[in-house]
Each structure stands twice: as structure tokens, then as C-alpha cells.
Amino acid sequence: MRHPWRWLTAVVIIAVVALFLYGAATNAAYGWSTYRKYLFDERISSAAWNTLQLTIWAMLLGVFLGVILSVMRLSPNPVFKSVAWVYLWIFRGTPVYVQLVFWGLFPTLYQNMQFGVPFGPTFFHINLEGLSISFILAAVGLGLNEAAYMAEIIRAGISSVPEGQFEASTALGMSWWMTMRRTVLPQAMRVIIPPTGNEVISMLKTTSLVTAVPYSLELYGRARDISGVIFQPIPLLLVAATWYLAITSVLMVGQYYLERYFSRGISRKLTSRQLEKLAAAQTGGTHL
Amino acid sequence: MTATAAGPMVRAERVCKDFGALKVLRGVTLEVQKGQVLVMVGPSGSGKSTFLRCINHLEDISAGRLYVDGELVGYRESRGKLHELPPREAAKQRREVGMVFQHFNLFPHRTALENVAEAPIHVKKTKRDRAVARAEELLDQVGLSDKAGAYPAQLSGGQQQRVAIARALAMDPKLMLFDEPTSALDPELVGEVLGVMKKLAGEGMTMLVVTHEMGFAREVADQLVFMDNGVIVESGSPRDVLTNPQHERTKAFLSKLL
């Protein structure tokens, strides 16, 4: 055998895992029948859908505001710069849980919203306390927090593109915006995409904190509610964990392909397609 | 090539450039006739590259006048005062002037072919298949038709610089600027880039070249300019300047090079 220690450790680990699984399967407290019963329960799957929607809306808001904040931080205008800095200071300096509780209390702070001229006519007004807007508050709360982190990620990405790239594009007659779109952002993406993927996965799990708003129709809240009624917390936690793990796995696959797409051109290594082409050229292009 | 007016291709009149208190150009006056090659030499920090970057308005100028093909670069003049052109019009002027950089500055996320076809397709709005056909032709001219699908990271420095030249030529410029095109290259790769430039000069392209390659200057330049400390110290035919320099500073500089 070439690697005896590898084999030995593998055997030991498999044995330990097998013992654990056997113990878990025979331990009634895990409540596997309850687990099976609720894994594909309609309430759970719709809660998973709500979790996914919260993630998507919060990330969309986070990326959108993050782009604006990063451009503000990179701009030469001192007013923009300091506004962005204060935003980041507040939203990165306080826990997201505390922020979510705050957004939950927002309707108590401001019962009415009026749109109009101060001390002048009102065009329309909304009674915030009367609306059930906990989903929106949860998504906005998560998104505003996320924006602060996305701003830093995007800023790092844009700053990573060498100045020569701006110059070469400008010298070819491109406008500032075309330079951004065709030259800078595609290269910045290589730096932006991996941490953004992590942020999406992290956001999926952070949505479990929105019970602070309170919003409880997402995966974790729903699982807790059901377990509160049937007095079986463990199987329902496992149900929620299974769903989180499944969604995260799908997201990780997507992240892998995105990263591969945006890293084209950075390696000297030839892709298999390029190698095939070169080999074909070498042999006079007889195959292919 | 674009139709051109009569008169010189480049005319600089007492061009000055300050960066704050630092005076980088202190009144540069020169002319480059159409179809001619002007080579600029001088110690680093003498303002050669800055002057080159003023010609396509990558840098604004602090005083003086700069014309390309009879048109004021980057500014509009009214009642004796200069007003900077809006970005769109400055970009339009740059399309007529090709530039090649010391560090190539190819787009690393695009293949050689995509690098060359990028500006014609997106800036000039040329039809994609026509732009690609032209790009293939240009890559062939610089001897890289077999590298069309390679990314810059997969090319040697000399190959990258030749792609960069093809990329600049793809816009059909009436003037080419070369900013130390061989300074970042290994010695054995310098020849292939100079070869392409020589060919280009032979085809009648108007060129302004900042370089330390005296052999190239002697062989190709119609006019050699020695710059130091933001001014032109000496200029003339390369033979005269290189073999019979008149100024002490030129002599000192050349003696260090040769």
C-alpha cells in the first residue's frame, strides 16, 4: 500500500461515522418518523420558498445600493464620500439582529408617512401601523445591512483593475461608461463574484434572524412554530437544516460556474478546447 | 485611412503641462509632417511620455496649442481662450489617433482577436463580421494569425505588443503614438516589435515614437528630437543628432546610451 496512514485514518473515520449514524437511527429522540412526515410538508416547502424570496430581494437591494455606495466612495466628491462612509460605519458597526428589531419597530416610530411639501400640501399618506408589511421590512432590513458589505466588495473589485485598462480604453475612443461596462466591470467581476457568492449563501442563513422583525413565515420560523405545537423540536430543526443545506448546495454549483466564466483569460494554462485545436493544427488539422 | 487636410499631421505650439507646482512640459514646439516618423529620446522624467499623452488628450495641457491634422486637440477656442471639449467630442478625436503603451494594456479577459475587434465593433459600430475579418487581417499583418484565439496571458511580451499594435490599427488611425513600446520587453523580443513598426513606417503611417532604441531611430526616423527637463533641446535628422550633437546635454545623454 502506498499510503498506509491515509487508509488507516479513513477506516477509523468511517467506523466512527457508522457508529454515530447507527446511534442516531436507533435513538427515538431524533424522531425520524416526524422528520420524514414534515420534510416535504407543504407548509415547510412554502416556507423554504419564502426564505429564498427573502434572500433574493435582500441581495438585489444589497447589490443595487452597494454599487451606488461604492461609486460614491470612489468619487472625488467629498460629500458623497462622507455620506457613504457614515452609512458603512453605522450598518457594519451594529449587529444585523439589532437592525432587524429596529426595522420591526419602524411602524411604531413612524405611524404615518406623508408625501408632500413640508408645512405645505400633502399628496398622499400611508398608515404604516395598519399594514402587514413584515416581509417587506425583513427584506429591506437585510438588504440595507447587506449593502454596506457589498459596497466594500464592489469597491475592491473596481480598484483591482489596473489604471492602464482605463487608459487603453480611453485611447481607443471609449466613453467613461463604455469603459466601465466593457473593460472594467467584466474584470472587476472576477474579484467581485466569489465573495458575492459567499454573501448569497450567508444571506440565505441570515434570513433565519428575521423572527426579530417579527416575520416567521420563512423556513426556520415555520419549523419552530410547528415544533412548538407538536413538542418535537429536534426533527423539525433537522428538517429546516436539510432544506438550508439543499439550497446552499445548489447555490454553490451556480457559484462554481460563474467563477469559471469570469476567470477566463487570467491563467496561462490552455483550456481543453484550446489544446484540442492546437493539437489539430499540429497534425495538419486531420481530426476535428 | 481617414481623409486628411493639408498641412502637418501634428503641430505643437509652446505646449506646457503642469502637475501642481511641477512643470513637466515647458513650451514644446514641433511639427510632424504626414507620413513621417518622429522619434523622441531623452532621460526619464524629461516629459516625453507626458507630451505623447497630451496628443490624444489623455492629459490636458496647461498652456499652448496642440493640433492634430489641423484640428485643435481636446479644446475649442473662442476669443483667444481655450475651453475643454465635452468628453464625447474628446473621445471622437481619440478614435483617429492610435496609441501603443509600454505595458501593452491588452484586455486580459478578451482573446487576441476580441482585443483587436473590440473598438471597431463597440466604438465605431462596424458590423461584427466585417470587424472580425479586418481583425484577422491585422493579426496576420503582425504575424500572429495563429494566435487569434489566445488570451493575452498566454502570449509572450513581444506577441502581446504586436496584438496591441494591431488593436490600435483596427480603428484606422491617421496617426500612431508609441510610448516606449519595447521598454518592457526581453531583449530577444524587441526585434519582432520594431520589425512591425518599421513595416508600418514603410507603408506611410505617420508615427510619433518615444523610445531608447537608437538603432530604430537611425534607421526609420525622419526627425529625431532630444528632450530634457520639459523642453526640446535639439532636433534634426537622426544622423546629425546622433553623430554630431550640438548641445552638452545631448552629448552627455548619448554617451551614456552608446
Considering only CB atoms, which chain A residues are within 8 Å of B103? 164
Quick one: three-class SS letters along chain B?
A: CCCCCCCCCEEEEEEEEEECCEEEEEEEEEEECCCCEEEEECCCCCCHHHHHHHHCCCCCCCEEEEEECCEECCEEEECCEEEECCHHHHHHHHCCEEEECCCCCCCCCCCHHHHHHHHHHHCCCCCHHHHHHHHHHHHHHCCCHHHCCCCHHHCCHHHHHHHHHHHHHCCCCCEEEEECCCCCCCHHHHHHHHHHHHHHHHCCCCEEEECCCHHHHHHHCCEEEEEECCEEEEEECHHHHHHCCCCHHHHHHHHHHC
Within 10 Å of residue B53's Cβ, how many Cβ atoms? 19
Kindly tell me if the per-residue pLDDT of A145 is higher than 90: yes
CA distance B33 to A26: 93
pLDDT band at B256 (very low <50, low <70, confident <90, very high): confident
Closest CA to B200 of B10, B36, B2: B36
pLDDT of amino acid A214: 87
Retrieve residue A230's grid coordinates.
Answer: 407538536
* Complex prediction ipTM: 0.91
- Cβ contacts below 8 Å, chain A against chain B, sum to 80
Q: What backbone torsions phi and psi does residue A3 show, to the nearest 5 degrees?
A: -125, 75
CB-based contact (8 Å) between B219 and chain A?
Answer: no
pTM: 0.77
Q: What share of chain A in percent tops pLDDT 90?
A: 60
* Chain A residues bordering chain B (beta-carbon distance below 8 Å): 162, 164-165, 167-168, 170-176, 178, 182-183, 186-187, 190, 262, 264-268, 270, 274, 277, 281
Considering only CB atoms, which chain A residues are within 8 Å of B106? 168
pLDDT of amino acid A111: 74
pLDDT of amino acid A288: 41
The answer to whether B58 contacts A167, with C-beta atoms less than 8 Å apart, is yes
Q: What is the mean pLDDT of residues B121-140?
A: 95
Q: Which of A165, A173, A266 is closest, CB to CB, to B119?
A: A173
Closest CA to B154 of A169, A184, A271: A271
Indicate the length of chain A as a whole number: 288
Considering only CB atoms, which chain B residues are within 8 Å of A270? 154
pLDDT of amino acid B258: 63
* Residue of chain B minimizing CA distance to A273: B149
**Which segment of A198-202, B136-140, B254-258 scores lowest on mean pLDDT?**
B254-258
pLDDT of amino acid A124: 67
Say if CB A158 and CB A77 are below 8 A apart. no
Triad B243, B246, B247: Cα angle to 5°: 120
Q: What is the mean pLDDT of residues A83-89?
A: 96
Average pLDDT, chain B: 93
Within 10 Å of residue A120's Cβ, how many Cβ atoms? 7
Query: Is A286 or B192 the better-scoring residue by pLDDT?
Result: B192
pLDDT of amino acid A29: 86
B91 Cβ neighbours under 8 A, 6+ residues apart: A170, A173, A174, A175, B123
Retrieve residue B52's grid coordinates.
Answer: 505623447
pLDDT tens digits, A9-49: 999 999 999 999 999 989 888 889 999 999 999 999 999 99
Closest CA to A183 of A160, A149, A150: A160
CA distance A39 to B141: 66
Closest CA to A164 of B90, B45, B53: B53
Say if CB B122 and CB A174 are below 8 A apart. yes
Q: What is the mean pLDDT of residues A107-128?
A: 73
pLDDT of amino acid A132: 64
Kindly tell me if the per-residue pLDDT of A281 is higher than 70: yes
pLDDT tens digits, B26-41: 999 999 999 999 999 9
B175 Cβ neighbours under 8 A, 6+ residues apart: B9, B10, B32, B55, B68, B69, B96, B97, B98, B206, B207, B208
DSSP for residue A270: P
CB-based contact (8 Å) between B165 and chain A?
Answer: no
CB-based contact (8 Å) between B2 and chain A?
Answer: no
Retrieve residue A174's grid coordinates.
Answer: 471609449
pLDDT of amino acid A127: 65
Query: Is A179 or A278 the better-scoring residue by pLDDT?
Result: A179
CB-based contact (8 Å) between B154 and chain A?
Answer: yes
Considering only CB atoms, which chain A residues are within 8 Å of B155? none
**Which segment of A138-142, A197-201, A281-285 scores lowest on mean pLDDT?**
A281-285
A18 Cβ neighbours under 8 A, 6+ residues apart: none
Retrieve residue B117's grid coordinates.
Answer: 475587434
